[in-house]
Structure 1
Amino acid sequence: MTPDAFVEHFGRLKASAILRTNDQEKAALAMEAAIRGGFRIIEFTLTVPGVYDLVRDFSSRQDLVVGTGTVMDTDQAQKSVEAGARFLVSPVVDEAVIGAANELGVAAMPGTHTPTEMLRAHRAGAQLCKLFPSPSGGPDWVRSVLGPMPFLKIVPTNGVDHHNAGEWIAAGAFAAGFVAPLFVAADIAAGRWDAIEERARQCIAAVA
């Protein structure tokens, strides 16, 4: 899948499931629950133990597009793509990582918090801008930024849940990433996979 094809796919589905946890087995089970709930674009942060094995396993499935998060350098970018990642997400704007993603033929989604950072990321070759952390202005902030820069594809992640995701999309967000409000830590610890699956269904419905 080319970067442009991924962006088009993400724009249609409007949602990604983003998992950060400290247990490889539970990470797999939690993500399976999100997939049963309807997610088809998924992301494992590189802080998850055994993350490259997880990416390799899940990316072998034809119905999924898998990416990695917390990509901080070009070596991590290379390993992610070798494992099967089709998009790379970072918490900051790092031109070297964006450049590596482009050279490796995958989409880049650096973390941005200001209009200046978004334009910088865009000019460096990033196809998408992760909004992180979420600004106090909420969805209205996205609407304001897109006024003068409608070419940006902004993806909020921090604090997005099934209650407010529709507001972000209505304000012009390209898509939304669901993190802790989807993968509630207590549910992962207790193995409450049905709870995660149900929230996943609610998240998917919220952006439909």
Structure 2
Amino acid sequence: MPDISVTDAVVRGGVVAVLRAPTAGAFSAISEVLVESGITALEVTLTSHGAIEAIAGLRRQLPEHVVVGAGTVLGADDAKASVDAGAQFLVSPVAVAGLDGLGVPCYPGALTPTEIVAAARTGAPLVKLFPASAVGPSYLRDLHGPLPGLRVMPTGGIQIADVAAWLTAGAAAVGLGGPLIGDAASGGSLGALADRARRAADAVAYARS
């Protein structure tokens, strides 16, 4: 049975920082800045070289209240390797069979109403709305009219300035990748990263106030 407290932590934080880069070498320093700035859920994408090792390192490095998951999980082998390394949740841009049964929550990707409902009916505690930039907060608001129980995590191309709009439209949490991480993984300013992270955390607080 997946640990529901992990999903509760993701939802409570409101923002999942999506760490994607050619290599995961800078993820340790980036994660420290994100957590110090109020971001408490991190997704390490498996397209980043060294991602599995980074997941294990972050689990050792970061405080217990921070949850660390694996992203872009496209097969059972990657899912098992991620969980063995300490991933507390698994995220995919699509619906992938065979990712459950590992004791951690899985958040499949979907876009259309039919796909989202089908994913939710598998028991997924959150459905990743992807790519969110192809639609917008009003799309989620419209979905919640006839489908008020959906727990959706929009991800993909979301700007920090749009976080509050997505949350007030009914998102359970929001995934932020490039607009949050910026150039921090390639030597960019960690101070600028901290500023972006604080603005994202402030947007969550504003939307929920």
Q: How many residues align?
A: 203
Q: Residue 113 of structure 1 contacts residue 135 of structure 1 at CA under 8 Å; is this kept in 2?
A: no
Q: 1:9 to 1:122 in 2, by over 3 A?
A: same
Written as runs of structure 1 = structure 2, the 5 A alignment for 1:1-208 is 2-60=2-60, 61=62, 62-97=64-99, 100=100, 103-134=101-132, 136-185=134-183, 187-208=184-205
- 1:27, CA displacement in angstroms? 2.5
Question: C-alpha deviations, 1:141-195, integer Å up to 9, x for none?
Answer: 001111111221111111222211000000111111111100113x432331111
Q: Residue 71 of structure 1 contacts residue 90 of structure 1 at CA under 8 Å; is this kept in 2?
A: yes
SS of aligned partner of 1:163: helix
- 1:199, CA displacement in angstroms? 0.3
SS of aligned partner of 1:16: strand
Q: Residue 135 of structure 1 contacts residue 141 of structure 1 at CA under 8 Å; is this kept in 2?
A: no
Give the percent of matched residue pairs that are identical in Structure 1 and Structure 2: 37
- 1:2, CA displacement in angstroms? 4.3
- 1:136, CA displacement in angstroms? 4.3
Q: Residue 10 of structure 2 contacts residue 67 of structure 2 at CA under 8 Å; is this kept in 1?
A: no
Structure 2 portions without partners, runs of 5+: none
Question: C-alpha deviations, 1:19-75, integer Å up to 9, x for none?
Answer: 100122222222222222211110100011111111111112313210000000011
Question: C-alpha deviations, 1:109-146, integer Å up to 9, x for none?
Answer: 11111111111111222111111011544101001111
State the TM-score, normalizing by the size of structure 2: 0.91
Q: Residue 161 of structure 1 contacts residue 203 of structure 1 at CA under 8 Å; is this kept in 2?
A: no
Q: 1:179 to 1:24 in 2, by over 3 A?
A: same
SS of aligned partner of 2:149: coil
Computed over aligned residues only, the root mean square deviation of the Cα atoms, in angstroms, reads: 1.6
How far apart in 2 are the matches of 1:156 and 1:14? Answer: 11
Structure 1 portions without partners, runs of 5+: none
